[in-house]
Amino acid sequence: MSWKKALTKIAKQKRAMVGLEAAIILIAFVIIAGAFSFMVINQGLFATERGKTVVQDSLRQASTPLAVDGSVFLNASSPTSIDAIVIPLKAYGVRYVAMGTSQTAVTIKIGEEAWPNIYEGVAHNVNGTEISECTFTQLVSNVTTGKAKLFIQNSNLDDALDSAEKGYLVIYLSSPANSRTHVIVEVRPEKSAPLTVEFFVPESLPLGWVTVAG
């Protein structure tokens, strides 16, 4: 076979072209698989992070960051009725709890009557006097009748109850609650479970401030 015929025969072979096409297809598959793997991993990481956020939000919504810090105080306006309630509060397990009127609601039920939101916000002092130097009677006198206000002791002057601060939720009843009346107060911060305080007004009351279990 002459060299011309051998060269012509080699030129007519398609095995090299087929091999090149197969390599191009293989590279394309590898690129597509890599892109798909990256997408799957990225979606998996996003789903994991999203799941973590959902769990954290659920835990926060299922628990309350507020706790009753001591006994609940009642002001007996007569031997058989009360006209004011003071609930000491503290932030528990968090740095602070937002307590502005747009983040918090206070619901109260007295006997068969209930009010959806009586909260009128935060006070940091009483006419320039530090909360720790005021009596409960002075605090009540600075609350609108039928409303509730949070007085913050050692306040940093924002509308949040910090873990280092102490709050007194003061409720001035629109009408006296009589003996044996069931009272339920709910403090509902934003995105968390409410703090519920309930008690029965004692049957016999000495005039002035008395305590019930918080």
Summarize pLDDT for 15-74 with one digit per residue, the tens: 555 555 666 676 766 677 666 666 666 666 555 565 555 444 444 444 578 999 999 999
Query: What six digits make up the tokens of 46?
Result: 């996003």
Return the number of other C-beta atoms located less than 10 Å from residue 33's C-beta.
10
Q: Model-level pTM?
A: 0.71
pLDDT at 166: 96
Instruction: State the pLDDT confidence band at 176, using cuts at 50, 70 and 90.
Output: very high
The per-residue pLDDT for range 193-203, each reduced to its tens digit, is: 899 999 999 99
Q: What kind of architecture, by CATH, is found in domain 66-212?
A: Sandwich (2.60)
The per-residue pLDDT for range 109-141, each reduced to its tens digit, is: 999 999 999 999 999 999 999 999 999 999 999
Tell me the domain boundaries of the chain: 3-62, 66-212
